[in-house]
Structures are given as C-alpha cells and as structure tokens.
C-alpha cells in the first residue's frame, strides 16, 4: 500500500461513526467518537464520485478555509480523510444551532443573552475577516452552538478570500433574507460589509424571534428591506442607482426602529442600525463592532455556559432532572448520574428572571405580516 493510502487508513481508524444525525444538501452527517479519547465528534461525509467535475466547489471551499481557521468561535475541523469516493470531514460535535434556539418557544432570551451571542458571532467573524475570508452565508442555522454554549460559525461552503482587491465576485451568495441590498442590486465588487449586513439581520431576529426581513423573492426582498429601513436616497448611498441590477422598487419612508424594537436600549439600536447602513463602506466592521459601547454597557453578556439552550436531549420529565441539580456546585450543575440529560434552565432564580423577561417581549408586532 502507498504511504498516502496508509496514512489515510490510519486517520480513518481514529474516528468512529455511530449514527446518522442529519442530511445536508451535499452531505450526510454522522455523530461519532474519537477512538482514543471518546470525545464526541461529527463526521460530514461528502460523496464525490457523483460530480462530473470532480471534487465540488463547496467541499473544496469548506476544507480549504477550515483547515486554516482555528478560533473558539469558528467550527473546528479536526481531520479529513477519504473512504472510497467519499470525502469525510471530522468536525467538533455541536448540539444545536441558533435557529433552533430562536424557534424554541419555551426559551426566554434576556438582553444579556443576545449580547453574548452577538459578541461571539462578531468575534468569529472578525477572525475570518482578519484572515481575508468572507463567509457569505451567515444565518441563524449556520451559527452552531456547542454544549458549553460557545457559538461557532459553520458552513464555509460559500466562503472565499478577498485579498485581491477589485476582483469580480458573484452576487449570487447569502440566503435571501440575510442578503444585503448591494448584492440584490447585482454588485460584483464587495467586501466584508456583506457579512455584517447578515449579522445585523440575525441581531434583529434574536430580538424579534422571527426573521426580520423575510422577502418572498429577490425583488420582494428589496421591498421588504426598504419598507423596514426606508428607501435609500442618493445621499444615504451614493451611486447605488448605477449598480448593474438596479431597479426602483418604490419609495418608502424610514420608520423609527424603536417602533419595532420597543424594549431595546439606545446602544442596542445604535449597533443594529450601524450593521444595516445602506452604503457598504459606512457599515460598521466586525472589529469596530467589538468595541461598540453596546458590549460594554450593562447588562454584561451572559456567560456562554449560562445561555438558554434547546432541550432536545431531555427524554425524562424535568423534575427528575432538577432532582439531580446540585445547587451548591459551580461546575456543570448536573450530577454524573444524570448523564445524557440536559437542563433547560440554569437555576431556579434564573428561571424566574427569564419568565419576567419574557413578558417584556422585544417584539410588538411581526414585521411585514400580512
């Protein structure tokens, strides 16, 4: 056997696949373990044989960028190996994603929780941008959550580097609801600001608990944006009417953000609106966002381990779980006997605080509801 084949087999043997946990557009995902440490991992198996152009671009991008990026808030690629005509990516196992958490109506978000998720998102994104990498597909279900509460940017299948300035790029990226207006107008020269717009939409969604700008088509997306933020003038965004796919979609006044985000602080709205500035060059950068007053004002961000999380693994009644909670311990809080169970809430006092917060709902009315 060749040295390369041997090395591959050795790698393959370090990882054990246990069961299928999901299916994506081009991959099957398994839960598994690292043979030596029993550490929980995910194996993303990508079929390669079926493509007439060989290894497909999404797989190549994902491997290329994750191989280089190591950061607490970016999903970790632990290994890559092949089996027959499959490419296997070994990833750290992540229990849930932000979309699941947003949709879980039994969870209550405190402003401090949202601040914590936003801080982790900006940290991960700042690291990507510092490495000259655009993510180009940020949305709640690509922000995965680890069991310790850490948020990780995932799915780099659309990512690319931008070290070459003035290099023409495709505008067909980013899921519609999170896509910035410059891409909807067909702009082919863009930068880090496209990711910031997506983060702005996610920020709003965390407060509203429903998608902020849910357009039904690309054209309707622009309308939805303008209805929420006002149609941009030439002053707001010089030159936008000259963009390749520019079309006038109607004049909408700019409603005060406060009308929708009733409970948000001034700092919160300030950061949100800086993420959603029309002129891409004026939009806040990830680095600037991290030093925005929002992150230094009270309440301080919730510690990741104390963030609300989905209770998907709970398969016994909750009181039974609570019986295992060790109130005096600052550790994981769940006794070893309750292995495999997860608590919904961190502590009884916090539960109370959360139910109060729930009544102070951020959202008055869903945007663009018929």
Ligand X SMILES: Nc1ncnc2c1ncn2[C@@H]1O[C@H](COP(=O)(O)OP(=O)(O)O)[C@@H](O)[C@H]1O
Contacting residues toward other proteins, per CB under 8 A: 2-4, 8, 17-20, 28, 30, 45, 48, 52-55, 57, 60-61, 63-65, 67-68, 70, 80, 82-87, 130-132, 160-161, 163-164, 285, 287, 315, 340
C-alpha dihedral (294, 300, 303, 306), degrees to nearest 10: -110
- Which of 22, 255 has the CB closer to ligand X? 22
Q: Among all chains, which residue has been given the structure tokens 């006092």?
A: 349
Is 137 assigned a catalytic role?
Answer: yes
Q: Rounded CA gap, 196 and 282, in Å?
A: 11
Q: Which residues participate in the annotated binding site?
A: 21-29, 44-45
Residues that bind ligand X (CB under 6 A): 21-25, 27, 29, 42, 91, 93-94, 155
| Residue closer to other proteins (CB basis): 132 or 300 | 132
Long-range contacts of 17-20 (CB under 8 A, 24+ apart): 17/43
131-134 contacts: CB < 8 A, separation 24 or more? 131/68, 131/69, 132/161, 132/162, 132/163, 133/65, 133/69, 133/159, 133/160, 133/161, 133/162, 134/159, 134/160, 134/161, 134/162, 134/191, 134/192, 134/194, 134/195
From ligand X, other proteins, none, interface partner of 22 (C-beta below 5 to 8 A by class): ligand X
Q: Which of 56, 113, 137, 195 is catalytic?
A: 137
| DSSP state for residue 188 in the 8-state scheme | -
Locate 124 and state its tokens.
């991960």
What is the rounded distance in angstroms from the CA atom of residue 166 to the CA atom of residue 188? 9
Tell me how far CA of residue 284 lies from CA of 194, 247, 270, 274, in angstroms: 11, 26, 11, 6
Closer residue to other proteins, CB minimum distance, 82 or 175: 82
Q: Which two tokens stand for residue 81?
A: 């190996």
Closer CB to ligand X, 115 or 152, in the complex:
152
Name which of 41, 49, 44, 54 is nearest 24 in CA terms. Answer: 44
With CB cut-offs between 5 and 8 Å by kind, which of ligand X, other proteins, none does residue 334 bind? none
Q: Which is nearer to ligand X, 27 or 133 (CB)?
A: 27
Q: In angstroms, what CA-CA distances link 76 with 21, 73, 181, 324?
A: 18, 9, 31, 32
User: What are 151's two structure tokens?
Assistant: 């948020």
List the one residue out of 108, 308, 114, 99 whose CA is nearest residue 203: 114
Q: How far is the CB of 22 from ligand X (least distance, A)?
A: 2
Annotated binding-site residues for ATP read: 21-29, 44-45
Residue nearest to ligand X (CB): 24
Which residues have C-beta within 8 Å of that of residue 370, sequence separation ≥ 6?
none
Q: Which does 263 bind (CB under 5 to 8 A by kind): other proteins, ligand X, none?
A: none
What is the C-alpha to C-alpha distance for residues 290 and 31, in angstroms, rounded to an integer? 34
Smallest gap from residue 51 Cβ to other proteins (A) = 9
Return the number of the residue (20 or 364) whose C-beta is nearest other proteins.
Answer: 20
Catalytic machinery residues: 137
């Amino acid at each position: 056997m060749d040295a390369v084949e041997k090395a591959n087999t050795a790698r393959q043997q370090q990882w054990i696949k246990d069961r299928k946990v999901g299916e994506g557009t081009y991959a099957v995902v398994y839960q598994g373990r690292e043979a030596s440490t029993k550490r929980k991992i995910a194996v993303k198996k990508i079929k390669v044989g079926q493509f007439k152009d060989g290894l497909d671009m999404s797989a190549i991008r994902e491997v290329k960028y994750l191989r280089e990026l190591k950061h607490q808030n970016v999903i970790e690629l632990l290994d890559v190996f092949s089996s027959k005509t499959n490419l296997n990516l070994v990833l750290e196992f992540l229990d849930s994603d932000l979309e699941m958490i947003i949709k879980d109506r039994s969870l209550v978000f405190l402003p401090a929780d949202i601040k914590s998720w936003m801080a982790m998102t900006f940290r991960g994104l700042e690291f990507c941008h510092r490495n000259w990498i655009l993510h180009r597909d940020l949305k709640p279900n690509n922000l995965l959550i680890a069991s310790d509460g850490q948020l990780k940017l995932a799915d780099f299948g659309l990512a690319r580097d931008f070290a070459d300035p003035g290099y023409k790029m495709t505008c067909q990226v980013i899921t519609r609801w999170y896509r910035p207006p410059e891409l909807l107008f067909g702009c082919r020269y863009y930068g880090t600001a496209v990711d910031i717009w997506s983060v702005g939409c996610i920020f709003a969604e965390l407060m509203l608990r429903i998608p902020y700008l849910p357009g039904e088509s690309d054209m309707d997306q622009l309308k939805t944006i303008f209805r929420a933020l006002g149609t941009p003038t030439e002053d707001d965004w010089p030159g936008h009417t000259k963009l390749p796919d520019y079309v006038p979609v109607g004049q909408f006044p700019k409603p005060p953000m406060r009308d929708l985000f009733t409970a948000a602080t001034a700092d919160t709205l300030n950061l949100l609106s800086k993420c959603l500035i029309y002129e891409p060059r004026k939009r806040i950068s990830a680095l600037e966002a991290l030093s925005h007053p929002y992150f230094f004002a009270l309440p301080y961000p919730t510690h990741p381990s104390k963030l609300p999380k989905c209770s998907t693994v709970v398969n016994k009644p909750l009181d039974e779980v609570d019986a295992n909670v060790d109130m005096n311990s600052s550790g994981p809080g769940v006794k070893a006997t309750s292995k495999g169970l997860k608590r919904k809430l961190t502590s009884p006092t916090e539960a109370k605080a959360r139910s109060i917060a729930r009544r102070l709902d951020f959202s008055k009315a869903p945007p663009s509801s018929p």
